[in-house]
Chain A
Amino acid sequence: MLRIESLHTYYGYIHALKGIDITVGAGEIVTLIGSNGAGKTTTLSSIVGLVPSSEGKIFFEDKDITNSAPHKLVWAGISLSPEGREVFPTLTVKENLLLGAYTKHNKASIASSFERVYGLFPRLYERTAQQAGTLSGGEQQMLAIGRALMSQPKLLLLDEPSLGLAPNLVAMIFELIEEINKQGVTILLIEQNANMALSVSDRAYVLETGTIAMHGDAKELAGDARIKEAYLGAH
């Protein structure tokens, strides 16, 4: 579904991505793990066109989407839930979700999106009329994911959904990610919480300073001694 071929991205003189190859098949959950500064967020930003990439190609459903305008990708079926949530703080939960459905004109399809998101996150339904900025961190994360789902994407990009959340909330968010995947959404996940991420994913890539250090089956990677030492905190 998504194919990245030897992608290079620079921030000025800094060579942030040094030719990475990633494929995400339809229906999969694929995780990108790596330490701070490895280039995880840069990869997502390059996919959605927020950061221009200088070399390499990105294909979505066999269409070349390299360096296309960010807003066009939402129409194509890619949706991003950004790092740090970035909900619209003074708008209500409902308005945030309606903005997520910006690419949809059909009232019935917007209504079914609402039902799906409120079904996944009943907490958001309770807070429909509340301003998003007054929600708790976990609720804002739910809203960010819910908002990204409103456009009925084929591919959902999640940037650090567990950032700054309490452990039981993290577990809940990951359960919901699996649930969303079961509803037929392909997911590319970026996580620092490697343990959690590997347990829900089909496959995983390990990024180290702009290159893919390892990739393979998520369960196998979770058992790999080097991964354990570097990311899982095992001794």
Chain B
Amino acid sequence: MKMKMEPFNRDFITPIEQFLTKFRIPAWVLLGVFLLALPHFGFNTFIMRLFIMIGIFSMLGLGLNILMGYTGLVSLGHAGFFAIGAYTSALLMVHTDLPFLVTLIAAAITSGVVGGILGLPTLRLSGNYLTIVTLGFGEIVRMVIMNWRSVTNGVLGVRSPRPVMFGMEFTFANHGFYYTMLVLLLLTGLTSAAILHSRTGRAFLAIKEDEIAATMMGIRITRYKILAFTISATITGVAGGFYASLMPHIDHDVFTFDVSVLIVSIVIVGGMGTMRGMFLGAIILIAFPEVSRFLMEYRFVVYGLLLILMMRFRPQGILGWKSRLPYNLPKLVQKRVETGVQ
């Protein structure tokens, strides 16, 4: 008996998504062309920098999403991994002649290793207690940066040189930063998608849903939790390394608790466990402070209000799964039930 497998049907279907599913390939091509052509529309440096920041924070969202959206572990210390990635890359560029690509990989590895080590307490802690440990971790990283003067230059920070790749210096004028961001974002997105649709991704989801049931499937929970921390920290480290190359100067003050909260907010607003949500979350939360400048000091009131409204009306995030919405009967059945016709 041969069976035809149905495709996965996780995401909910809106008319827009129906349209996108139908024209999936043209839509992707169109989006790709648009993103590639974006720098040539004549935006000024300020706007281009905003686009790049959105890209960086999308990556940070994708990184945290693996931990929070897939595995169900909330981290309030991702600014720490961001800082480790940034400092690793920046210090290597200052003190050695290694090419940017190598310092970026070093940033990813350092951050990933530290992530794995931070993952170890997850063997004993869960829920809010784990979140508090990660919160402490973020602050510890900042303290180390401030006080380890011989390496990090303390509170004065690090001035990193412009990265050079294939004999070309990255600048805003030649859009080197923008295209590097696109490439990194593409790589992060593909990695993320590959993980979600693999055996590993299913193990993550199972742990998030029910740890005991996951164990009874033969999944070694501790190993996967550490793995989730490692992957998440690696992606965050890459974003950090790139951020360090973008900024002429980095110091401890960039990687505060606020950044950790911002990353968590991106994941929540966009929709935990969705990838598209991370991009949307980053666009909204990074562009919002700029777009709403006319509101002046009231913009944080509006920001807070928006978050409260989100929590009330769409707790699963803008692009969150339909799982928490009531199950809708097919239209015909619904009509029959409503009118009482058999």
Contacts and interface: CB of A to CB of B under 8 A. Distances in A.
Contacts of B323: 89-90, 131, 133
Nearest to A150: B217
B1 A99 contact: no
Interface string B281-323: 0000000000000000000000000000000000000000101
Contact of A95 (B202, B215, B327): B202
A79 B216 CA distance: 7
B209 A89 contact: yes
Contact of A129 (B3, B7, B215, B220): B7
Give the size category of A's interface with B: 35 or more
Contacts of A94: 5-6, 8
A70 B216 contact: yes
A114 B221 contact: no
Nearest to B209: A88
A95 B198 CA distance: 11
B210 A86 contact: yes
A62 B216 CA distance: 21
Given A94-B6, A102-B202, A128-B5, A88 B213 contact: yes
Nearest to A133: B323
Contact of B217 (A50, A69, A99, A134): A99
Contacts of A82: 212-213, 216
Interface of B: 1, 3, 5-10, 199, 202-203, 205-206, 209-210, 212-221, 321, 323, 327
7 cross-chain pairs, A with B, having the tightest CB-CB distances, nearest first: A74-B218, A129-B9, A90-B323, A88-B209, A103-B218, A86-B213, A128-B6
30 contacts: A69-B220, A70-B215, A70-B216, A71-B215, A71-B220, A71-B221, A74-B217, A82-B213, A87-B213, A88-B213, A89-B209, A89-B323, A90-B323, A92-B8, A92-B9, A94-B5, A95-B202, A99-B214, A100-B217, A102-B199, A102-B202, A114-B5, A115-B3, A118-B3, A128-B5, A129-B6, A131-B323, A133-B323, A134-B327, A151-B217
